[in-house]
Amino acid sequence: DGGITQSPKYLFRKEGQNVTLSCEQNLNHDAMYWYRQDPGQGLRLIYYSQIVNDFQKGDIAEGYSVSREKKESFPLTVTSAQKNPTAFYLCASSLLLAGGNEQFFGPGTRLTVL
């Protein structure tokens, strides 16, 4: 079955540690996105990528980093510079960044920093 996978579903880390969230898709989508969701707030765009080896900052990129070495994979690293990292992180993909296609979401990773 085609889809987007994120792992792990729940992640706990100590303050000051970097952590990497995995996102893999087998939909052959060009564009991939990372969003953060906090209670009472809409999804906010962290980073996005429309092609391998290229990615751009979204609205709240500070304290995060990404890579896009393969079309299928778009891992997100939450660094110690992120002031409030506890949140629900959602990865998404779509056929074309500039196209009329919907974004498909992964199941999400809930990160808790202790």
Partner 1 sequence: GQNIDQPTEMTATEGAIVQINCTYQTSGFNGLFWYQQHAGEAPTFLSYNVLDGLEEKGRFSSFLSRSKGYSYLLLKELQMKDSASYLCAVRTRGGLTGGGNKLTFGTGTQLKVEL
**Residues found near partner 1 in the complex (CB under 8 A):** 31, 35, 40-45, 48, 50, 56, 88, 90, 97-100, 102-108, 110
Decide whether 8 or 99 has the Cβ nearer to partner 1.
Answer: 99
- What's the gap between Cα 53 and its chain centre? 16
C-beta of 18: minimal distance to partner 1 in Å?
25
Count CB neighbours of 68 within 10 A: 19
Decide whether 98 or 114 has the Cβ nearer to partner 1.
Answer: 98
Decide whether 77 or 105 has the Cβ nearer to partner 1.
Answer: 105
**63 and 83 in contact (C-beta within 8 Å)?**
yes
Residue 55 in tokens: 């990615």
Dihedral sign, Cα of residue 53, residue 59, residue 65, residue 70: negative
C-beta of 46: minimal distance to partner 1 in Å?
13
C-beta of 32: minimal distance to partner 1 in Å?
12
- Say which amino acid occupies 30: D
